[in-house]
Amino acid sequence: MYLETDNISFLNYFRIGQTTPEMQIILHQIVNCPFHGLIKDIYLQAKCLELMALKLEPDTAGERELMRSRPQFFCTSATFGGLPTRILYVFVGLAPLILFITGFVMWKHRYRTKEKNKISYRIY
């Protein structure tokens, strides 16, 4: 990735060089880790994940509202293909149920005929 240091909007978009007080606290905890061994590894991994979560979190309420207002998926079943596609989705969604019911009816019919044949052989 090509990093343009003279483009201020690019730097503001990724918030490069900006640390919040919460981030500074976590960085201080990472530098002054009191643990050793495996516990230190787990502690440092958790602190790094916490730091990444703070970095990825939207800064202002305006950014959060903008993120909520955007659609997450641009092509959903509600917008793609209109009414014919929705009707097709209904039939595709009901297909497993229909196949289950018809399979059960066929199995039950076959099971009953086997039972009748066993009984008829025993009588004669």
Written as one string, the DSSP assignment of 68-106 is HHS-S-SS-TTTSSHHHHHHHHHHHHHHHHHHHHHHHHH
Residue that is last in its domain, among 60, 88, 111: 60
Cα–Cα distance measured from residue 109 to residue 104, given in angstroms and rounded to the nearest whole number:
8
78 pLDDT exceeds 80? no
Cα–Cα distance measured from residue 83 to residue 60, given in angstroms and rounded to the nearest whole number:
39
pLDDT number for residue 110: 86
Instruction: Give the pLDDT band (50/70/90) at residue 19.
Output: confident
Range of the domain at 15: 1-60
69 pLDDT exceeds 80? no
Q: Is residue 66 part of a domain?
A: no
Residues 105 and 51 both lie in one domain: no
Query: Helix count (H) and strand count (E) of the chain?
Result: 5, 0
* pTM: predicted TM-score of the whole model, two decimal places: 0.39
Residues 112 and 86 both lie in one domain: yes
Residues 87 and 39 both lie in one domain: no
Mean pLDDT calculated for residue range 94-121: 84
Residues 54 and 91 both lie in one domain: no
The answer to whether the beta carbons of residues 92 and 77 sit under 8 Å apart is no
Q: Cβ–Cβ contacts within 10 Å for residue 85, how many?
A: 13
Residues 8 and 53 both lie in one domain: yes
